Chain A
Amino acid sequence: DQQVKQNSPSLSVQEGRISILNCDYTNSMFDYFLWYKKYPAEGPTFLISISSIKDKNEDGRFTVFLNKSAKHLSLHIVPSQPGDSAVYFCAASGSISNYQLIWGAGTKLIIKP
């Protein structure tokens, strides 16, 4: 049973427009939610996170929104740039075993020039 789901395997967005990547979760005990970015043949790199006590966190072009009642979070990238083309993973952790991340399957983002 997948606790973290990314239902869109891929997303194509025009350069300069907004990219919205979605993630749903089932475990209400998750405390932190994170987004990682992965280029081919590289390990994932941390992008942005949000605590469950917040509903929004912004870092430059990246904003993560958390809707706890819907158990849904989203990553907004604006404006989208060619270098943003990568696989984006949503991950979550709980307060007890906060070192253990539960990951979604990833969404491949393609930014078209």
Chain B
Amino acid sequence: GAGVSQTPSNKVTEKGKYVELRCDPISGHTALYWYRQSLGQGPEFLIYFQGTGAADDSGLPNDRFFAVRPEGSVSTLKIQRTERGDSAVYLCASSLTPSSGGTGELFFGEGSRLTVL
């Protein structure tokens, strides 16, 4: 498809389990972003990739969260020892260039809804 693709769309897991969420950005977009949206709130920034490297991971809440983008395209957000408070929709977005993120040209996927029981 032409848009940002995220899998799975829904994930239910038990507390303490490991979870991986995948994002396939728009082809040619060098910048990739992960956001987390909790119920009733706006998205919160987690991490930003420029190419293969994490240019800013200041939004990751703790060391249980980690993200990779080994070939500069697909990214995986990894959550270890999940907690109930991790339940949220995890949104991935991409943009053609990093600076365009600040001027609106972010393209979002539909999100992965994570529920930790």
The chain A residues found within 8 Å of chain B, CB to CB, are: 4, 6, 31-32, 34, 41-46, 48-49, 51, 89, 91, 93-95, 97-106
Contact = CB atoms under 8 A, between A and B. Distances in A.
Residue from the set A49, A94, A103 with the largest chain B CB neighbour count within 10 Å = A103
A43 B4 contact: yes
20 contacts: A4-B42, A32-B103, A42-B110, A43-B111, A46-B105, A49-B104, A51-B103, A89-B42, A91-B42, A93-B102, A98-B102, A99-B31, A99-B98, A99-B102, A100-B45, A100-B59, A100-B101, A101-B101, A102-B45, A105-B42
A93 B98 CA distance: 12
A43 B40 contact: no
Q: Which 10 A-B pairs have the closest CB atoms?
A: A98-B102, A103-B42, A43-B108, A99-B101, A93-B102, A49-B104, A46-B104, A34-B104, A100-B45, A99-B98
Contact of B99 (A41, A43, A98, A101): A98
Given A98-B99, A100-B48, A101-B101, A46 B42 contact: no
B56 A104 contact: no
B106 interface: yes
B91 A43 contact: yes
Identify which of A97, A98, A101 gathers the most chain B CB atoms within 10 Å of its CB.
Answer: A101
